[in-house]
Amino acid sequence: MSGEIAQAFAQAKARGEGVLVTYAMAGDPDLPRSVDVFAALVEGGADVLEIGVAFSDPIADGPVIQGAAERALKAGSTLKRVLDEVVPAVRKRCPQTPLVIMTYVNLIMAMGEARYAKLARERGVSGTILPDLPPEESASLRATFDAEGLDLIPLCAPTTPPARAQAIAKEGRGFVYCVSVSGVTGMRAELPPDLSQRLDLVRKAATVPVVAGFGISTAEQARMLSAHADGVVVGSVLVHAAHTEGPEAAKALCADIKRGLRR
């Protein structure tokens, strides 16, 4: 298990803050400039970085991240290049921040599970999130990751029945990613009313921290959720800001959301 992720959550807790996990797409608008985006997010207060790796068929993503994936693919982003070029550069500029890869299972299969795990760990990646790999399909990959000390971070959904959610939470690695809305990634004006109850249930069963993600874009939403989770994940709003206004705008948004996480 990665000590880095646990440490980041412990440090935030000690400071009386919820953890801010931020997502951006490696290779958007191109590989070097996406490094600037990741660094800006950390300057804005991000505690954990999710590094998106573009896939041609992103079924869990809404229009904003789909668009970022198309731009990244055009810019030549591949899993190999992200591990070779983006991850080490981000690592250099943000040495204290745990890095988590978020992509789809086909890219990991194409590289080879063991090869990916080894390379990711060597480059300084702490964990991996695969939104199209439910627990039933993840046994072999998780064993490979465990052997390498790379966390396979599980997801829990609003439709997940309580007993299944508890099992996922109990067996979690790194942190448990609670998907807040039934749907794809993207900003939402309102979050479901039963979200806090679900977070409480998962948090009670979890052996690792619990974060809420999908649909979260404001300090107010972050403040409300940080009473029931150890942190929040913010993605589409930052990807949109970085794409339309540049890294500084994403940094400012991070700082604003981070204020919502101070207890």
Active site residues: 50, 61
Closest to another protein by CB, 94 vs 156, is 156
- Residue 43 half-sphere exposure, CB side, CA atoms within 13 Å? 14
Closest to another protein by CB, 78 vs 128, is 78
Rule CB under 8 A: say whether 209 interacts with another protein: no
Number of shown-chain residues binding another protein (CB under 8 A): 41
> Could you tell me which residues come within 8 angstroms of residue 74 by beta carbon, excluding any fewer than 6 positions away?
none
Q: Which stretch binds another protein (CB under 8 A): 65-73, 85-93, 219-227, 243-251?
A: 65-73
Closest to another protein by CB, 69 vs 150, is 69
- Contact (Cβ atoms closer than 8 angstroms) between residue 25 and residue 62: no
Q: Which stretch binds another protein (CB under 8 A): 19-27, 44-52, 85-93, 132-140?
A: 132-140
Closest to another protein by CB, 106 vs 218, is 106
Q: How far is the CB of 89 from another protein (least distance, A)?
A: 20
Q: Which stretch binds another protein (CB under 8 A): 35-43, 71-79, 140-148, 205-213?
A: 71-79
Q: Which stretch binds another protein (CB under 8 A): 17-25, 102-110, 117-125, 199-207?
A: 102-110
Rule CB under 8 A: say whether 114 interacts with another protein: no
- Contact (Cβ atoms closer than 8 angstroms) between residue 57 and residue 107: no
Tokens of 189: 């004006």
Rule CB under 8 A: say whether 113 interacts with another protein: no
Q: How far is the CB of 119 from another protein (least distance, A)?
A: 13
Distance CA 17, CA 255 (A): 13
Closest CA to 247 of 256, 238, 235, 237: 238
Distance CA 121, CA 127 (A): 9
- Contact (Cβ atoms closer than 8 angstroms) between residue 186 and residue 63: yes
Buried b (16+ CB within 10 A) or exposed e, 32-67: eebbbbbbbbbbbbbbbbbbbbbbeebebbbebbbb
Q: How far is the CB of 183 from another protein (least distance, A)?
A: 4
Distance CA 213, CA 217 (A): 10
Q: How far is the CB of 206 from another protein (least distance, A)?
A: 15
Rule CB under 8 A: say whether 70 interacts with another protein: yes
Instruction: Give the binding site for another protein (CB under 8 A).
Output: 55-62, 66, 70, 73, 78-80, 104-111, 131-134, 136-137, 155-161, 164, 168, 179, 182-184
